[in-house]
A = this chain, B = another copy of it.
């Protein structure tokens, strides 16, 4: 797959294929050999394929009917930017109980499709989607349990740059599959635009780690 604006080298530099030291049974199919330090690596051709599958489903279901949810900090900017670009509905931070299940809740959303950034931390969204029979797409890392996920996008869902890359690629796929963008056309946005920026205190913390 040739992606305008993104070389293979630049894609790999985002850490998109870096998994964890744990690999669940259902994620094994998406991994290659582990690195010498024990981190499992994701076959990123499968990541790209599933991003495109998910992009098609979002385009066909209608982005306006798609809720994209991330609970963790690094997912906030990618999800909000993705929704700004595609017209999907962003939910970040705490997932308020009743968002899908209670029509009387003021923040109630009628979703045809849900995308979550991390099934391990976004459980309330998954429980409510299951109750309502809403199909769930999720970015799953090598250590994720995927039982409640209908379409798995294998990928690093902890890294700032990896999350930015995945949501940028997903936005691109939604745009091409909606006929807004040609396959060889450039998006108006770069991966950098999708990335949560660190404050100086974050940077100090990251260096300590």
* CB closest chain-B residue, reference A173: B133
Cβ contact within 8 Å between B25 and A56: no
Q: A5 on the interface (CB 8 Å rule)?
A: no
Which of these, B50, B133, B151, contacts A52 with CB under 8 Å?
Answer: B133
Cβ distance A48 to chain B, nearest Cβ, rounded Å = 9
A130 to B46, CA, bound (A): 10
Which among A28, A135, A151 has the greatest number of chain B C-beta atoms within 10 A? A135
List CB contacts (< 8 Å) of A144-187 with chain B: 146-147, 150-151
* CB closest chain-B residue, reference A147: B29
* CB closest chain-B residue, reference A49: B133
Cβ distance A45 to chain B, nearest Cβ, rounded Å = 10
* CB closest chain-B residue, reference A133: B52
Q: A61 on the interface (CB 8 Å rule)?
A: yes
Q: Does more than half of chain A's interface fall in helix, strand or loop, or is it mixed?
A: helix
Which of these, B49, B112, B150, contacts A50 with CB under 8 Å?
Answer: B150
Q: A189 on the interface (CB 8 Å rule)?
A: no
Cβ distance A24 to chain B, nearest Cβ, rounded Å = 10
Which of these, B29, B49, B56, contacts A112 with CB under 8 Å?
Answer: B56
Which of these, B26, B52, B61, B130, contacts A25 with CB under 8 Å?
Answer: B26
Which residues from chain B contact A25 at a C-beta distance below 8 Å? Answer: 25-26, 28-29
A7 to B202, CA, bound (A): 57
Cβ contact within 8 Å between B53 and A135: yes
Cβ contact within 8 Å between A112 and B53: no
Which of these, B146, B147, B151, contacts A150 with CB under 8 Å?
Answer: B151
- Per-residue CB proximity of A20-43 to B under 8 Å, as 1/0? 000001101100000000000000
Q: A105 on the interface (CB 8 Å rule)?
A: no
